[in-house]
Amino acid sequence: MRLLIAGWQGQVARALVEAAPACPDVTACAVGRAALDICEARSIERALSGINPTVVINSAAYTAVDKAETDEERAFALNRDGARLLAEAAARRGIPIIHLSTDYVFDGRKYDPYVEDDVTAPLTVFGRSKLEGEEAVRAANPKHIVLRTSWIFSPGGRNFVKTMLAQAAEQQRVRVVDDQRGSPTYAPHLVTVILELARRLSKPEAKGPWGVYHAANSGTTTWRQFAEEVFRRSRELGGPVAAVDPIASKDYPTPAPRLMNSQLDCTKLERTFRMRLPAWEDGVADCVQRLVKG
């Protein structure tokens, strides 16, 4: 199986590249923007011809949620139009695409975890661009899996766990929002699902089931509890620790509003493919271990 991974510096792409060598018969080609710019049709054609993949994974995205509010054109160019171009090019060659999407397609006003069929109603430019990207991928390539995930963290790239540890190295207390609930997702756990999906769907006779799936670590939490778990693990390892002061979302204003509820119900993934991600706390344990102990 040959994977073409767009978005090579990203958290998900890095985790894919790290995990792929352990999978038998998998060659993972992650390419940066210079070799594969998903906004450029010719660049996509060159990459597809050169690598000749059996599955395309789109982890390239405009992910600066706040910046997108004033950079709408660029967010849509990448998250909608680039996603469409890549999905169309894969479809012309009969290649399935696994496309990463986000909890931000919802408005966060539901009380319970979101299921795939819940009404989408993004609150932000970023969320709208990702939702239109999902729709573009579905329309362009019948062989698609759209994987919505949330609150990604990993030892590589910028994320909440690294920010908490960096702040704790400099200050004794941190203020963390405590009224948003979500499903933290450890990139190395997420990519085991992506690689297994790719393996099953790369078979020429694979008939899907194609569609939209939620994929997040099991369990849900708030950012405050997430921070406390990071520090609990860090303390055990002699790493940086800070006291956590809970605050409300209104005391941490951001240009793009955050979802009060980002919880993703992953039952469909489990029922359809018999795949379930571990508890998010297991991801924190591994991530902190790698960050503190190196």
Ligand X SMILES: NC(=O)c1ccc[n+]([C@@H]2O[C@H](COP(=O)([O-])OP(=O)(O)OC[C@H]3O[C@@H](n4cnc5c(N)ncnc54)[C@H](OP(=O)(O)O)[C@@H]3O)[C@@H](O)[C@H]2O)c1
**Closest residue to bound ligand X by CB:** 10
Between the alpha carbon of residue 195 and those of residues 21, 27, 131, 157, 213, the distances in Å are 11, 11, 23, 20, 15
Six token digits for residue 20: 């792929």
From the list 18-26, 56-64, 168-176, 282-290, the region that binds ligand X by CB under 6 A is 56-64
Q: What number of CA atoms fall less than 13 Å from residue 174's CA on the CB side?
A: 26
| DSSP assignment string, 209-247 | --EEEE---BS-EEHHHHHHHHHHHHHHTT----EEEEE
Taking Cα atoms as reference points, which of 97, 96, 113 lies closest to residue 218? 113
Task: Give the CA radius of gyration of the chain.
Answer: 19
Q: Does 75 bind ligand X (CB under 6 A)?
A: no
Sort strands 173-177 and 243-247 into parallel, antiparallel or unpaired.
parallel
Q: Does 82 bind ligand X (CB under 6 A)?
A: yes
Q: Of the two residues 1 and 15, which places its CB atom closer to ligand X in the complex?
A: 15
> Whole-angstrom Cα distance, residue 242 to residue 124?
32
Measured from the CB of residue 65, what is the shortest distance to ligand X in angstroms? 9
The two counts, helices (H) then strands (E), for the chain are 10, 12
Which residues make beta-bridge pairs with 5? Answer: 30, 57
Measured from the CB of residue 16, what is the shortest distance to ligand X in angstroms? 9
From the list 144-152, 164-172, 196-204, 205-213, the region that binds ligand X by CB under 6 A is 144-152
Residues in region 116-135 near ligand X by CB under 6 A = 130
Q: Does 264 bind ligand X (CB under 6 A)?
A: no
Q: Does 26 bind ligand X (CB under 6 A)?
A: no
Measured from the CB of residue 4, what is the shortest distance to ligand X in angstroms? 11
| Residue selected from 100, 161, 168, 284 as contacting ligand X according to rule CB under 6 A | 100
Q: Compose the 151-170 pattern: x for residues touching ligand X by CB under 6 A, - for all others.
A: xx----x-------------
Q: Does 63 bind ligand X (CB under 6 A)?
A: yes
Q: Does 102 bind ligand X (CB under 6 A)?
A: yes
Q: Does 59 bind ligand X (CB under 6 A)?
A: yes
Q: Of the two residues 11 and 54, which places its CB atom closer to ligand X in the complex?
A: 11
256, exposed or middle or buried, with CB in 10 Å at 0-12, 13-18, 19+? Answer: middle
| Residue selected from 54, 129, 141, 149 as contacting ligand X according to rule CB under 6 A | 149
Q: Which residues bind ligand X (CB under 6 A)?
A: 6-12, 33, 36-39, 59-61, 63, 78, 82, 100, 102, 130, 149-152, 157
